[in-house]
Structure 1
Amino acid sequence: MARDTTDQTPLSSVQELTDYIAAGNKPPERFRIGTEHEKFAFFRADNSPVPYFGDASISALLTGLQKKSGWEPILDGGNIIGLAEQNGMGAISIEPGGQFELSGAPLETIHQTCRESNQHLATLREIAEPMGIRFLGIGGSPKWTYAETPQMPKSRYEIMTRYMPKVGTKGLDMMYRTCTIQVNLDFSSEADMRKKMRVSMKLQSLATALFASSPFTEGKPNGLLSWRGDIWRDTDNRRSGLLDFTFRDDFGFRDYAEWALDVPMYFIVRDGRYHDCTHVTFRQFMNGALKGEVVDPAPTMGDWTNHLSTLFPDVRLKRFLEMRGADGGPWRRICALPAFWVGLLYEDAALEAADELTKDWSFAEVSALRNAVPAEGLQAEFRGHSLLEMAREVVGISKAGLKSRGKLNGEGQDESIFLAPLDEVLAKKATLAEDLLSLYHGRWQGSVEPVFEDYQY
């Protein structure tokens, strides 16, 4: 999220919070695809991280992009921390360790998503090249320690950095040393949201396995295929992971709102200043817990929308659904991740097939799979079979869904062409993480340095 909201509409009931989420309902012809991707900025000279301040820096990149694009700068304490497209469609933001993120515009096809990310990376490279900066597309920082990783001057991150060690062992690694590709997708009704969220929550670990690309930490193999996936197993679990109520046949918008109400807050913003609110839940805030602590202690809709953006379940519900399970990766995967989920969720027969496939999966089974995937990837077992077998079936459903959508490019190709990276994973029976490990033990001769050259944007 590039900008924290300041909607001053007062709140007085849980129903208002529920209605806010339900307002995301839209007819299928208005469904869009919003793709986000993060990447690590590094100096080509020595593969070191890029600081926030300086002539060659994260702030200089943002300033250069602002001048070139004309997008509106987003400021925090006088520092540029992002850019927003004038029509509110797209945004550029920075993650806590300087990871550079494009939050793409809501688009109709994966063809458009690919063009958008291509254009973004080309423009970014124009700005970055004279500074000696490039970008790495994998899921975990392969070399830098936490101490070596720069910290961005962003108020919400200062609050999170203080709070994370209190509620888990890996929250700071999540913030500073991981990258992801995500896609945001729409729903038409509560029932449609329910089915999409149930299916995607159950299949999120499969996406983690398919997109695993974080096998290195601090210059050596970490024993995992998705270090990022493992990190999410102990990152503030009150606001993260699987949500058991989404496995029910009757859950709805109200259930998510009630869950969110009992998650501790991070902050509220008053007159441009961030106030640490990690000691209260949103429900306590609604009941007056901040009276006497801050000016204007009454909750607003802006506070609620900001709170929703600080929840980290594997599938996040706002006025759309966010698929959050995948590691970052090379450019083709920026297109493959939205293609995978659009194929499953945006075509009725495919969604029905995916729902039928997963309908009797229990919360305990999916939790066990989520715990196994970071280390085992597609070799993890589910009901006596390898996840690889399940992946073939699910990717097949997605491919059929994309073909059925019939969104063609100028050469007459449908969106299923963007699943090619996943077809390669299934054919080789190996994830990108396993490819990286083979290179490390082979051509790279026990060094992670070549990853910066071989997997840069």
Structure 2
Amino acid sequence: MARDTTDFRPIEGVDELVEHLAEGNKPRDKWRIGTEHEKFPFYVDGNAPVPYGGERGIRAILEGMQDKLGWDPIIDDGRIIGLVEPTGQGAISLEPGGQFELSGAPLETIHQTCREGNAHLAQVREIAEPMGIRFLGLGGSPKWSLAETPKMPKSRYEIMTRYMPKVGSKGLDMMYRTCTIQVNLDFESEADMRRKMQVSLKLQPLSTALFANSPFTEGRPNGLQSWRGDIWRDTDNQRSGLLQFCFSSEFGFADYVEWALDVPMYFVIRDGHYHDMTHVTFRQFMAGAARNEIPDGLPTMGDWANHLSTLFPDVRLKRFLEMRGADGGPWRRICALPAFWVGLLYDEAALDAAEALTSNWTYEEVLAMRNAVPEQGISAPFRNTTLREIARDVLVISRTGLKNRCKRNRDGYDETSFLNTLEEVVARGTTSAEEMLSAYHTRWGGSIEPVFMEYAY
């Protein structure tokens, strides 16, 4: 999750909120790729979860990373809960259950993204391995119950933990027991944002299917390929899911703002203290609903930026677009996820082709696909075919887009090789989750313990 921000400029009206999003418009030569990936820390001895405190806890890893990197600590109520690169080019943060997240720097190529990911994994391994800690690349926690899962001391998470059971049955699982790989991408105009939002919303279920990697819960198969995808079906549907209004040919920044204004808030920060605001929407906050509740009870632009970071649709709009559909996975997936979306969205010919492919897909059809994917993966039906066949066409478009970008590494290779792991899924006809399940029923002998060896970073 993003680092919570403070910006004390008062909000005068809704137009400023729209302008905040429009300020994300960037010329093509300034488009960047920001990749985020989460992983579960565990003790090698017993495959047990890692708490925050102690000499071999998550705080100690953060302190070790701080010493190694020289990054600035992020402090919440006196405790270190993350690190940020001094110029803002990347951050390390904690998810509620201790999931360790790298929010990568805005980079120009997937080659740079892959180097960044490899460097981060090597650094964190150097600090954690002497403590007997490794990290697991899965989309869902395979072994520990919610009660066994540690809780990180972050103020925003305390508020969310109280609130989630009121608005869905799976919000705590989302917070404490899932991991994702995510990519953040730019747009040059409102029209460009609209095209990218619509194409990526329609194809997000395909991303969930291709990256399906969470078939175990509490030590046994859960009947799903993407447990994480299923969790998002009932987390907090006021702020999550597939946004129907984005399918409109007239969709723009103002429409997203109008939606966001009527979603309940989580918190505001005043003098370093988090105030629970789950009882009001941002629109009510702007109308003075908290005037007597909190110091300086009028909304600021920092409050708005933080509110936008607490919305969880399949594609999130801030001053960039966030692709949110993929399970966490092995290190090759960390490069494959941004490659998939950059190929589709950052080349004009590829975006045209992706738009043409999906132009007549309806909200109802995409929702049905989204509901089928957690259980069926790439075998999920769509019209008279399956997602596996759709994936063939989409990966051809993405590969073409990456080839057209012609971003080469020092050895002269372009970015297309990063799609190989996804093309293997389609060629095999089985997802990573299905491969794991096959291993569980055969060579793993009905035990999930080998997953901690085979899927560890």
Trace 1:280-319 onto structure 2 (pairs within 5 A).
280-319=280-319
User: Is 1:194 aligned to residue 194 of structure 2?
Assistant: yes
Partner of 1:175: 175
Partner of 2:64: 64
Partner of 1:149: 149
Partner of 1:104: 104
- CA distance in structure 1 between the partners assigned to 2:242 and 2:175 by the alignment: 19
Report the TM-score, using the length of structure 1 for normalisation: 1.00
Partner of 1:268: 268
Question: Is the 8 Å Cα contact of residues 95 and 175 (structure 2) preserved in structure 1?
Answer: yes
- Look up the equivalent residue of 2:71 and give its one-letter code: W
Partner of 1:206: 206
Partner of 2:81: 81
Trace 1:34-49 onto structure 2 (pairs within 5 A).
34-49=34-49
Q: What fraction of aligned residue pairs are identical, expressed as a percent?
A: 71
- Look up the equivalent residue of 2:8 and give its one-letter code: Q
Partner of 2:375: 375
Question: Is the 8 Å Cα contact of residues 34 and 103 (structure 1) preserved in structure 2?
Answer: yes
- CA distance in structure 2 between the partners assigned to 1:304 and 1:167 by the alignment: 21
- Look up the equivalent residue of 2:63 and give its one-letter code: T
Partner of 1:8: 8
- CA distance in structure 2 between the partners assigned to 1:412 and 1:248 by the alignment: 42
- CA distance in structure 2 between the partners assigned to 1:362 and 1:2 by the alignment: 31
**What root-mean-square deviation, in Å, do the aligned CA atoms of Structure 1 and Structure 2 show?**
0.5
4+ aligned runs moved over 3 Å, structure 1: none
Partner of 1:239: 239
Question: Is the 8 Å Cα contact of residues 402 and 415 (structure 1) preserved in structure 2?
Answer: yes
- CA distance in structure 2 between the partners assigned to 1:324 and 1:191 by the alignment: 21
Question: Is the 8 Å Cα contact of residues 316 and 323 (structure 1) preserved in structure 2?
Answer: yes
Question: Is the 8 Å Cα contact of residues 2 and 309 (structure 2) preserved in structure 1?
Answer: no
After superposition, the C-alpha distances for 1:130-157 in whole angstroms (9 at most, x for unaligned) are 1000000010000000000000000000
After superposition, the C-alpha distances for 1:204-237 in whole angstroms (9 at most, x for unaligned) are 0000000000000000000000000000000100
- CA distance in structure 1 between the partners assigned to 2:111 and 2:425 by the alignment: 21
Question: Is the 8 Å Cα contact of residues 52 and 58 (structure 1) preserved in structure 2?
Answer: yes
Q: State the shift of 1:3 in Å.
A: 2.0
Q: State the shift of 1:353 in Å.
A: 0.3
Pick closer, same or farther for the CA change 1:257–1:2 going to 2, 3 Å. Answer: closer
- Look up the equivalent residue of 1:17 and give its one-letter code: L
Partner of 1:121: 121
Partner of 1:352: 352
- CA distance in structure 2 between the partners assigned to 1:147 and 1:395 by the alignment: 40
- Look up the equivalent residue of 2:12 and give its one-letter code: S
Q: What secondary structure does 2:3 align onto?
A: coil
After superposition, the C-alpha distances for 1:60-102 in whole angstroms (9 at most, x for unaligned) are 0000000110000000011100000001010000000000000
Report the TM-score, using the length of structure 2 for normalisation: 1.00
**Where does structure 2 lack aligned partners over 5 or more consecutive residues?**
none
- Look up the equivalent residue of 1:330 and give its one-letter code: P
Question: Is the 8 Å Cα contact of residues 37 and 181 (structure 1) preserved in structure 2?
Answer: yes
**Where does structure 1 lack aligned partners over 5 or more consecutive residues?**
none
User: How many aligned positions are there?
Assistant: 457
Question: Is the 8 Å Cα contact of residues 2 and 82 (structure 1) preserved in structure 2?
Answer: no
Q: State the shift of 1:411 in Å.
A: 1.5
Q: What secondary structure does 2:326 align onto?
A: coil
Question: Is the 8 Å Cα contact of residues 288 and 297 (structure 1) preserved in structure 2?
Answer: yes
Partner of 2:387: 387
Partner of 1:227: 227
Partner of 2:259: 259
Q: State the shift of 1:28 in Å.
A: 0.3
Trace 1:14-25 onto structure 2 (pairs within 5 A).
14-25=14-25
Q: What secondary structure does 1:18 align onto?
A: helix
Partner of 2:438: 438
Q: What secondary structure does 1:409 align onto?
A: coil
- Look up the equivalent residue of 1:79 and give its one-letter code: R
- CA distance in structure 2 between the partners assigned to 1:170 and 1:364 by the alignment: 23
Question: Is the 8 Å Cα contact of residues 207 and 326 (structure 1) preserved in structure 2?
Answer: yes
- CA distance in structure 1 between the partners assigned to 2:380 and 2:22 by the alignment: 36
- CA distance in structure 2 between the partners assigned to 1:232 and 1:438 by the alignment: 25
Question: Is the 8 Å Cα contact of residues 199 and 355 (structure 1) preserved in structure 2?
Answer: yes
Q: What secondary structure does 1:324 align onto?
A: strand
Q: State the shift of 1:423 in Å.
A: 1.0
Q: What secondary structure does 1:238 align onto?
A: coil
- CA distance in structure 1 between the partners assigned to 2:93 and 2:120 by the alignment: 13
- CA distance in structure 1 between the partners assigned to 2:96 and 2:397 by the alignment: 36
After superposition, the C-alpha distances for 1:359-397 in whole angstroms (9 at most, x for unaligned) are 111111100100000000111100021110000000110
After superposition, the C-alpha distances for 1:222-274 in whole angstroms (9 at most, x for unaligned) are 00000000000001000000111110111100000110000000000000000
- CA distance in structure 2 between the partners assigned to 1:130 and 1:20 by the alignment: 45
- CA distance in structure 2 between the partners assigned to 1:29 and 1:277 by the alignment: 40
- CA distance in structure 2 between the partners assigned to 1:444 and 1:296 by the alignment: 58
Q: What secondary structure does 1:325 align onto?
A: strand
Q: State the shift of 1:36 in Å.
A: 0.2
Q: State the shift of 1:2 in Å.
A: 4.3
- Look up the equivalent residue of 2:194 and give its one-letter code: R
- CA distance in structure 2 between the partners assigned to 1:156 and 1:455 by the alignment: 30
- CA distance in structure 2 between the partners assigned to 1:441 and 1:400 by the alignment: 38
- CA distance in structure 1 between the partners assigned to 2:78 and 2:443 by the alignment: 46
Q: What secondary structure does 1:268 align onto?
A: strand
Question: Is the 8 Å Cα contact of residues 239 and 311 (structure 2) preserved in structure 1?
Answer: yes
Partner of 1:218: 218
